[in-house]
Amino acid sequence: MRKLAKNNWDYAEPGILYWDHINDYNLLSEYIKNGDFEYAGVNPCAEEPLPAGGSCLLGAINLSEYVEQEFTEYAWFDYEVFRKDVKIAVRALNEVLDEGLELHPLEMQRNTVGDWRQIGLGIMGFADALIKMGISYGSKDSLELIDEIGITLNEAGLEASAELAEEFGSFEYCDTDMIIDSSFMAHIGNDHVLELISNFGLRNSQLFTIAPTGSISTMLGVSGGVEPLFDVEYTRTTKS
C-alpha cells in the first residue's frame, strides 16, 4: 500500500478501485443483487463506473464560490444557493444527455445511455473553500463541512431527478421500490425527497461522481475534486 501511495503521489499512477464497494453502494444495488444490472467497468479516467455501452457525462460545481465573508472568522457556506445550483446542474446535464443521445456512434451506446441515463455531478474547489473559511484540511471541522455539503448535494440532486421524472418520465428500468431500498438511499433521511422518488421515480440511474476535475479546475484556477493543495506552486505542461 505504501508503494502504491508513493507512486501515485509521484506519477498519478496507479489508481485503485474498490470494486466490491462500487457494486454494494449505489442507487442500483438491488438491481445488482437480483442480476438485473452490472457495471462493466469505468470510463478511461476511472471517474465513473458504467454498464456496457455506458457513457460518462460529468459536471462539477466550484465549492469555493459558496463561501461568504471569506478570510474572516465569521465565514460561512451558503447551502441555500448551493442547493439551488445543484438542481440547475442536474437539469443541465440531462439536457446535454438528450442533445447528444443520437450522436453516440454505436447502437449499444445509444440504448444504454437512453435506458439508464447516467450522469455524474460532482464538486471541485473544496481546498479553496477551506482556505477561505480558515479551516485546516482533514480537521474535524473540515470533515463536518464536507459531510454536510455531500448530504445537500445528494438530496438536491435526487430531488431534481425526481422532478424531471415527473415532467418527462423516469429512466426506462426505474423501479421505485428497488431504488428506495438501495444501499445508497439508506442515508437519505429527507422525507420530501423519499416521497418524490416513491411517486415519480428518478430520471437518472446514476447522479453523482466526485471526479478529480484536473482540467476544468486548472482552467478555473481552483483545487481539484475534494483533494488538498499538494504544493504552493507547480508547473503543468500540456502537449497537443
**Catalytic one of 7, 8, 38, 45:** 45
List of residues 6+ apart from 135 with CB closer than 8 A: 141, 142, 145
Say what the pTM is: 0.93
**Catalytic one of 26, 43, 94, 204:** 43
174 in active site: no
> pLDDT truncated to tens, each residue of the chain (240 aa)?
999 989 988 887 888 889 999 999 999 999 999 999 999 999 888 899 999 999 999 999 999 999 998 777 789 999 999 999 999 999 999 999 999 999 999 999 999 999 999 999 999 999 999 999 999 999 999 999 999 999 999 999 999 999 999 999 999 999 999 999 999 999 999 999 999 999 999 999 999 999 999 889 989 999 999 999 888 887 878 788
Q: In 3D, which of 28, 18, 2, 11 has the Cα closest to residue 177?
A: 28
47 in active site: yes
**Catalytic one of 30, 47, 48, 155:** 47
**Per-residue model confidence (pLDDT) at position 33:** 96
The amino acid at 61: I
Dihedral, 43, 46, 48, 53 alpha carbons, nearest 10: 20
**Element of type H or E holding 121:** strand 118-124
43 in active site: yes
**Per-residue model confidence (pLDDT) at position 238:** 79
**Per-residue model confidence (pLDDT) at position 76:** 95
**Per-residue model confidence (pLDDT) at position 65:** 97
**Per-residue model confidence (pLDDT) at position 73:** 75
